Structure 1
């Protein structure tokens, strides 16, 4: 079993998304950017949508420099009108929308449920759950209007399947994303639109690298795989679920967590 920190290799699927447009929220960095890059390498027109407008522009420029067709748009997923505008931008820029990855999310402060700040609760749920609903509310009609069918992947979390002390809002929202995914999947399967979810575990990011070494090692030890995950590994799973290779995969929820939840 490998315990290296080398990301899994990207498959040679250079044209699997050719002629399709993919909108990826929260894609200025991290899992979102890795996913946008992977879809772009597969031939998709990629829309980088992020609350950080400058970050979105920078990420799009980075992808363009790699030969990927990309455009950037600012989006606040807590506002339905902002999401609607981002979807319209995608269609206006590239002619249609066939793929979407709803990745934007926040963590929120840690506190027991009985002491959890109500404003923080509202902010986390509004971003992580309402934001996914607002996104699908506008993406689904646009994908249907393309006449080509398509697919959506919602980025939940391992905390869409288990509890985690001190994170009631995040856990509740991510469980909600899984339920929302399954509901939409049953509604749109007959229309040729597949809706699935992924549940990333702890992913090795610069933020986690700021932890002291003992804490980082303790977190790593919770993973039977012997390491944390990489954004590229999550992106590969998302790419599979969006691709025609997953043509009979509807309403599923896939964990990518190094066996963290299998303990």
Structure 2
């Protein structure tokens, strides 16, 4: 039996290192064609050449992209269609950075605010672009975001990073709920500490003490989301002990609010389809 990834086209944001790199390699091994994004051309081209040499055909294409550049994001869909002859089916957003700032100083051009631009604003744009692409091509689609343990708790030494990861969970739940009655899905994977270049120095010491998440388990969490079509607007946490789908928020007031918004949600979906003549 063929894997659900077989013959699919996947876009991986942040595919040149860490989790994104492992996902790119794993997806191609399961029969997918992958366009992976990054800012390091040397690493990107090296990974592209390695995967394609191993496969004996073009299974992976590197797309140079600063995720805060909207035009570069949107171009990936044309590049994928040109390279693979098919449109993108799945979008995985792993790209992210960790701020390093002095909380006592707050200059106008403080580089730490780029954490919000890359981790949250760019992810929101990536989701909108993906959804528009799926609707325009009248096809099912899946977006998987990457949050973190810090999407559930505070990070005293990296508050903007924690804010961005909380925001990612909000994005996934909101878009997933909006599209729950359609064939478009939006979810998030929230790993605890994984052995990646981002986890280094004192952070790695803390992560090691708490228990590092095996990379294979982290990768399997994304595959679990791909395989389980009932997941939409859900968050999958991955720890050193295992992974689980977080219970959906349940509150009578929230359920009433969701019901009151149902007509507005239907209007939004109809308007999107009308705009793209679907």
What TM-score bracket applies, with the shorter chain setting the length?
0.7 to 0.9
Match runs of 1:3-152 below 5 Å: 15-67=3-55, 69-94=59-84, 95-112=86-103, 115=105, 119-152=110-143
Match runs of 1:216-231 below 5 Å: 216=204, 218-223=206-211, 228-231=212-215
Are the counterparts in 2 of residues 32 and 103 from structure 1 also a CA contact under 8 Å? yes
4+ residue runs over 6 A deviation: none
Deviations 1:197-223 (A, max 9, x none): 011111123565x648xx855532223
Distance 1:117 1:251, change over 3 A: farther
Paired residue secondary structure (1:198): strand
Distance, in Å, in 2 between the alignment partners of 1:256 and 1:110 is 28
Paired residue secondary structure (2:180): helix
Match of 1:238 in 2: 222
Match of 2:238 in 1: 256
Match of 2:247 in 1: none
Are the counterparts in 1 of residues 4 and 226 from structure 2 also a CA contact under 8 Å? no
Distance, in Å, in 2 between the alignment partners of 1:191 and 1:91 is 24
Instruction: Please report the TM-score for the alignment, with normalisation by the length of structure 2.
Output: 0.78
Q: Which residue of 151, 155, 158 corresponds with 2:149?
A: 158
Give 5+ residue unaligned stretches, structure 2. 243-278
Paired residue secondary structure (1:66): helix
Distance 1:183 1:57, change over 3 A: same
Match runs of 1:161-180 below 5 Å: 161-180=152-171
Instruction: Please report the TM-score for the alignment, with normalisation by the length of structure 1.
Output: 0.82
Higher relative contact order (CA 8 A, sep 6+): 1
Paired residue secondary structure (2:237): strand
- Superposition deviation, residue 134 in structure 1: 1.4
Q: Which residue of 149, 170, 182 corresponds with 2:173?
A: 182
Distance, in Å, in 2 between the alignment partners of 1:142 and 1:205 is 31
Distance, in Å, in 1 between the alignment partners of 2:201 and 2:118 is 25
Are the counterparts in 2 of residues 185 and 196 from structure 1 also a CA contact under 8 Å? yes
Paired residue secondary structure (1:190): coil
Equivalent pairs, count: 240
Larger Rg: 2
Q: Which residue of 182, 188, 191 corresponds with 2:182?
A: 191
Distance, in Å, in 2 between the alignment partners of 1:178 and 1:234 is 17
- Superposition deviation, residue 50 in structure 1: 0.8
Distance, in Å, in 2 between the alignment partners of 1:195 and 1:236 is 17
Which region of structure 1 is more displaced relative to structure 2, 101-110 or 82-91? Answer: 82-91
Give 5+ residue unaligned stretches, structure 1. 1-12
Are the counterparts in 1 of residues 146 and 188 from structure 2 also a CA contact under 8 Å? yes
What is the Cα-based RMSD across aligned positions, in Å?
A: 2.5
Distance, in Å, in 1 between the alignment partners of 2:72 and 2:210 is 39
